[in-house]
Amino acid sequence: MQPRRFIFWTLAPAFGLLAALALISIAGALYFSVMDRSLRYPDYDFVGLYNFERLFGDRRFLNALKISALWEIITVAGSLLVAVLLSVFLFENTRSATARNLICLAFLAPVLLPRVAAAFIWRFLYSPTLGLINYVCELVGLGQVEFLASPSLALFSVAAVDIWQWGLFFTVILLKLLETLPKEPIEAAQLDNARTWEIHAYVTLPMLRAPIISLALVKAVESLRSFDLIFVMTGGGPGTATETLDLYAYQMGINLGGRVSYASAMSILLLLITIVIFTLVWRGIRKWAA
Amino acid sequence: MGRLISRTLSRTLLALLLLVALAPILWTILSAFKKLRDIVTPVPKFVFTPTLENFATILLNPSIRDGLYNSVVVVGVSVFVGALLGVPAAFGLARLPARAKGEMQFFVLSLRFMPPVAIAIPFIVIYLDLGIYDTLLGLILVYLVTTVSTVIWLSVPAFERVPREIEEAAAMEGCSLGEIFLRFSLPIAAPSLFGALVFTFVLVWNELLLALTLAAENGTLPVVAASITSLGKEVPWGVINAATVILVLPPLVFIGLLMGFINRMVAPGRK
Amino acid sequence: MANIKCTNIRKSYGSVTVIEDLNLDIPDHEFVVFLGPSGCGKSTMLRMIAGLEEISGGTVEIGERDVTRLPPGARGVAMVFQSYALYPHMSVYDNIAFGLRRQKVAETEIAARVKQVSGLLGLEQLLERKPRNLSGGQQQRVAMARAMIKTPKLFLFDEPLSNLDAKLREKLRTEIRRIHLDLKTTTIFVTHDQLEAMTIADRIVLMKAGAIEQQGTPSEIFDRPATRFVADFIGSPAMNFRDCTVANRGEVVELSSGSLHLEVPAADFEPLADGTIVEVGLRPSKMDVAGDGAHNAITGRVVLVENMGSEGQVVVDVDGRDMSLVTKAFRSLSSGSPVTFAIDADSIHLFSKRTGRSLRKAA
């Protein structure tokens, strides 16, 4: 039938291209991960699972794994928390549509910034000697804070930027979703003498459970790609305090001598972990939200 | 009285939130017009003699100009091709049976799960072997994964919102599926599709890792900006700020569009 | 202009068959209504005739031409959708003219025909507007104009009035009927509203679970329902049903249930054994208040009276169960008072408990 042929031809080029590129990169990574290829030397050999064995003994890799997990948790939880609190606050405290729209516009600005630009902006703000934030810190008597140079603080300082971009963005989305909710359940709760926070905790937010979960998933996926932010702000430092897996893989595979095979093994592991976790989470959530 | 206090409190909090959202950006823009000695001060200066020096440095710097050119070419071509392939695919996908559609959509989404390093590293070697390492073509090819998949992902709902009965009415008048796509579905879905394209544009315009690894010498604007830090001995904060402003401008132009896009996406489906 | 012939139509989605072996003939010029509860397959049937839905088995002929495998545009039919389905990016004029432009009709002729059709439907002032600036009723008129201008062999209406308010619905119903009297184009109209079907149809095709339950003129369907389902589906308030025991008394058959005793001529019905339980159906509008001695009288106590203007619906308690009737004499009744009413033997329906089919002999 002719319509079927048309549909086939709309899908074929796009999916052909995507499948080919995905296949090339995964097959390539798999292939290199069992070799000992490095950019410095032209020839290479098959080494089996040697790269993977070494990875599990590599303390810097294990550290990167930990930092990545920490990064995911902080940024996902932080963004959602900020979004939920602020959207409810805005929903309750802004009445005029124009004011609300202007605030939404302001909240959308950060997420549109290139990560590189956001990184520079905040590096400038965080700067110990000339940064605006440290100036405020000194005014309130905290003294100079080494936001990016202190190993215990650096990850949180970078995560704050991430939350600044995504938390405010999600605030706008949640606010818009709150606006689309039917008024009746809220009014019924008001008639039941529920307090404002109770209305949101027991009525509106549970109604938005499905979209909030999707936002969490989106954020979890996007948090995996925070290379740009961390790379520009700290470069993984101080030491390896903010070195996530993709940063370490980059350092290994490109920056330091181009140990392509070792980095490939790492990215294969990264891919595996991601797929397993996301498939589990995806299924669990589907069951739970259904 | 209590009401007045709580109102003032919520007003103050609102103002504070706006400050947190916008002050970093505004401060950067302000500082882009400062001489270095106005920046390196113990007390932040709000009043100073503005200068265009920083922008002059940036715009006269050949590597920035090249970066801008590369960005425009790479982003332009990859978004254009992404739309060319992705929009029809989304139309086709929207008409598949629910199950096949769900699975293909999940495949598209799962591409986003792939860590960029996992794409970058094999492609470095492959590109070196093919001789297209450090070329715009190579970068465009890799960006197509992002643009095609993002365009598909965001356009499927746009086509699903085109009322089925309108497409059927067109079919009743003898239109083939191709004509229905071009003359009805496409124009009706156009506003949402445009939003999808803008979102895709912002995504690749902002991309750093792939550009850094696959086209270090022919870098795009983010790559060049990221490398400015090491221009001289002293950190040239004024120049960095000016570069940031230039980098930020194109995506910010689309802020209103993004807002409209969100409004449409959260709006209840077909009536 | 054309007659429609559907032979052995089957429709399945994967392993689920929703319509099986359906046969239907529609003569030229007829206005046919597909009626039935939602999910009965009436819209699927319409969409298969339109070509929007693939036909899994059987054939559809329009004007002696087999169209089973033809795309919708090649069948010479026009359709009006429930949601109107106007092209939102085109003006009213372009919406109406689109089909003719596709047929490469000369622009001057298109203009003339759009003028004629829009005059017929009162759309002259709206031609330059976009659909979103029209009211629901205006949009529906544009949709009808768009269908009419192609002078199709067959008009299809898929619940076209259900998005409109009651008053407008009535007005457009009359209008559709009037246009059909003018053009005489064969028409199939789908609805789930039995009142709409009764008022508009030459013939009703009543469907249930993918099969035709009964077809006939509105009065045939109303006065001689073939099954209990049809009897229950048609008419408002709904028909009263009672299980009664049969006793043959020569010329008449006596039906009893508690205090209820009715007699019907034995010759009108299929032979029934004494003691058989049958379901008796009594239409509220066929009953009226009567004196004690009336034939087929029923006595009960008034539960409530609903004033419907010129008539009233009276709910009566008969042996502990409700029975409704519609009468003009409702004003003399009040809840709690006893009442006697009667029904003409010709309006008593008997249905088999086992098959649900009417036990009345075909006339």
Nearest to C101 by CA among C111, C86, C115, C88: C111
| Residue appearing with tokens 């989404």 | B109
CB contact under 8 A, C87 and B169: yes
Residue A272, classified by CB atoms within 10 Å of its CB into exposed (0-12), middle (13-18) or buried (19+), is exposed
What are the DSSP calls for C208-265, one per residue? ETTEEEEEE-HHHHHHS-SBHHHHHHSSSSPPEEEEEEEEEETTEEEEEETTEEEEEE
Q: Is B174 on the interface with A (CB under 8 A)?
A: no
Could you tell me if C89 lies within 8 Å of chain B, comparing CB atoms? Answer: yes
Q: Are B208 and A38 in contact (CB under 8 A)?
A: no
Find residues 1-60 of chain A whose CB sits inside 8 Å of chain B: 2-3, 6-8, 10-11, 13-15, 17-18, 21-22, 24-29, 31-32, 37, 39
Whether B250 is covered by a domain: the verdict is yes
**DSSP string for C298-332:** EEEEEEEEEE-SSSEEEEEEETTEEEEEEEGGGGG
- From the list B163, B173, B184, the residue facing C99 with the nearest CB is B173
Whether residue B43 has pLDDT greater than 90: no
Instruction: With a cut of 90, say whether residue C200 has pLDDT above it.
Output: yes
Summarize pLDDT for A192-212 with one digit per residue, the tens: 888 888 888 888 888 888 888
Given a cut of 70, whether residue B267 has pLDDT beyond it is no
Q: For residue B270, name the pLDDT band (cuts at 50, 70, 90).
A: very low
> In chain A, which residues have their Cβ closer than 8 Å to the Cβ of B237?
124, 127, 130
Q: How many CA atoms lie within 13 A of C48 on its CB side?
A: 29
pLDDT of residue B234: 59
SS3 of C362, please?
A: coil
Rg (CA), chain B: 23
Contacts of B222 in chain A (CB under 8 A): 114-116, 228
pLDDT tens figures, B174-186: 888 999 999 999 9
State whether B188 and C85 contact (CB < 8 Å).
no
pLDDT digits (tens, 9 = 90+) for A37-94: 777 777 777 887 888 888 888 888 899 989 999 999 999 999 999 999 999 999 888 8
% of chain C with per-residue pLDDT over 90: 64
Give the per-residue pLDDT at B1: 59
User: Does B41 reside within a domain?
Assistant: no
Asked if B46 is an interface residue toward chain A (Cβ–Cβ < 8 A), one would say no
Q: Does B188 touch chain C (CB under 8 A)?
A: yes
B124 and B20 co-located in one domain: no
Q: If pLDDT is split at 50, 70 and 90, which confidence band does B268 have?
A: low
> In terms of C-beta density within 10 A (0-12 exposed, 13-18 middle, 19 or more buried), how is residue C197 classed?
buried
Count of CB pairs separated by less than 8 Å, B with C:
56
> Phi-psi region for residue B81, left (φ > 0), alpha (ψ -120 to 50) or beta?
alpha
C102 touches chain B (CB under 8 A): yes
d(CA B48, CA B104): 57
Among candidates A24, A26, A176 on the partner chain, residue whose Cβ is nearest the Cβ of B266: A176
Confidence band for B269, pLDDT divided at 50, 70 and 90 = very low
* B115 and B210 housed in the same domain: yes
Instruction: Give yes or no for B72 touching A (CB within 8 A).
Output: no
In a shared domain, residues B23 and B64:
no
DSSP A128-190: TTT-HHHHHHHHTT-----TTTSHHHHHHHHHHHHHHHHHHHHHHHHHHHHHHS-HHHHHHHH
Let me know whether B77 and B117 are in one domain.
Answer: yes
CA-CA distance, A266 to A246, in Å (whole number)?
9
B103 touches chain C (CB under 8 A): no
Q: Which domain holds residue B13?
A: 2-31
Give the range of the structural domain holding residue A83, as residue numbers without chain letter: 37-289
Q: Side chain identity at A286, as an amino acid letter?
A: R
State whether C98 and B173 contact (CB < 8 Å): yes
Local confidence band at A289 (pLDDT 50, 70, 90 cut-offs)? low
Q: Is residue A59 part of a domain?
A: yes
- Across the A:B interface, residue pairs with CB atoms under 8 Å apart total 261
Neighbors of chain A with 3 or more C-beta pairs under 8 Å: B
Whether residues B15 and B107 share a domain: the answer is no
Mean pLDDT, chain B, whole residue set:
84
Instruction: Give per-residue pLDDT as tens, B203-243.
Output: 888 888 888 888 877 888 888 888 776 544 456 778 888 88
User: What is the distance of C-alpha A147 from the center of its chain?
Assistant: 20
Residue A31 within a domain: no
- Interface test with chain A among B40, B64, B121, B141, by most A beta carbons within 10 Å: B121
B66 in the same domain as B134: yes
Question: Rounded to whole angstroms, how far apart are CA atoms A234 and A222?
Answer: 19
pLDDT range class, residue B271, cuts 50, 70, 90: very low
Q: Rg (Cα) of chain C, in Å, rounded?
A: 25
Q: Report the CATH number that the domain containing residue A242 is assigned in CATH.
A: 1.10.3720.10
Q: How many other C-beta atoms lie within 10 A of the C-beta of residue B47?
A: 5
What integer pLDDT is reported at residue A270 of this predicted model?
85
C81 CB neighbours in chain B (<8 A) are 165, 168-169
Chain C residue with CA closest to B190: the answer is C89
Q: In chain A, which residue's Cα lies nearest the Cα of B114?
A: A271
Of all residues in chain A, the percent with pLDDT exceeding 90 is 20
B50-92 pLDDT per residue, tens: 888 888 887 888 888 888 889 999 999 999 999 999 999 999 9
Task: Give the total number of structural domains in chain B.
Answer: 2
Q: How far is CA B177 from CA B95, B115, B117, C72, C259, in A?
A: 11, 37, 40, 12, 66
Give the pairing type, strands C16-26 and C4-13. Answer: antiparallel
CB contact under 8 A, A267 and B115: yes
Partner A contacted by B91 (CB < 8 A): yes
Cβ distance C72 to B166 less than 8 Å, yes or no, reads: no
C67 token code pair: 């169209």
Residue B103 falls within a domain, yes or no?
yes
Regarding pTM above 0.90, the answer is no
Pair B92, B199 in one domain: yes
Q: Same structural domain for residues B63 and B178?
A: yes
Q: How many domains does chain A have?
A: 1
Using one digit for the tens of pLDDT, what is the confidence trace for C110-165? 999 999 999 888 898 999 999 999 998 899 999 999 998 988 899 999 998 888 88
φ/ψ of residue A53, rounded to 5? -60, -45
Question: Which chains pack against C, by 3+ Cβ pairs within 8 A?
Answer: B
Quick one: B13 and B72 in the same domain? no
Tell me the shortest Cα–Cα distance from B80 to chain C, in angstroms.
24
Q: Enumerate the residues of chain B whose CB falls inside 8 A of the CB of residue C86.
A: 166, 169
The residue among B35, B72, B39 whose CA lies nearest residue B55 is B35
Is this prediction's ipTM beyond 0.85?
no
Query: Degrees (nearest 5) of the Cα angle B181, B182, B184?
Result: 70
Whole-angstrom Cα distance, residue A260 to residue B120? Answer: 10
Helix axes A115-126, A132-139, angle to 10 degrees: 30
Measured distance CA(B116)–CA(A250) in Å, rounded = 10
Residue A24 pLDDT: 87
Which one of C52, C77, C149 would you mutate to disrupt binding with B, by most B Cβ within 10 Å of its Cβ? Answer: C52
Are B58 and B23 part of one and the same domain? no
Q: What pLDDT was estimated at residue A25?
A: 85
Domain assignment of residue B42, yes or no: no
Distance of residue C209 Cα from the nearest chain B Cα, in angstroms = 24
Give the span between the Cα atoms of C197 and C215, in whole angstroms: 12
User: For A100-131, what is each residue's pLDDT tens digit?
Assistant: 888 888 898 888 888 888 888 888 888 877 77
Name all domains of chain C by residue range, CATH numbers in brackets: 4-233 (3.40.50.300), 240-352 (2.40.50.100)
Question: Tens digit of pLDDT for each residue in A209-250?
Answer: 888 888 888 888 888 888 888 988 888 878 888 888 888 888
Distances, alpha carbon C124 to alpha carbons C90, C93, C144, in Å: 16, 9, 14
User: What is the predicted pLDDT for the residue at A1?
Assistant: 43
Residue A258 has pLDDT above 90, yes or no: no
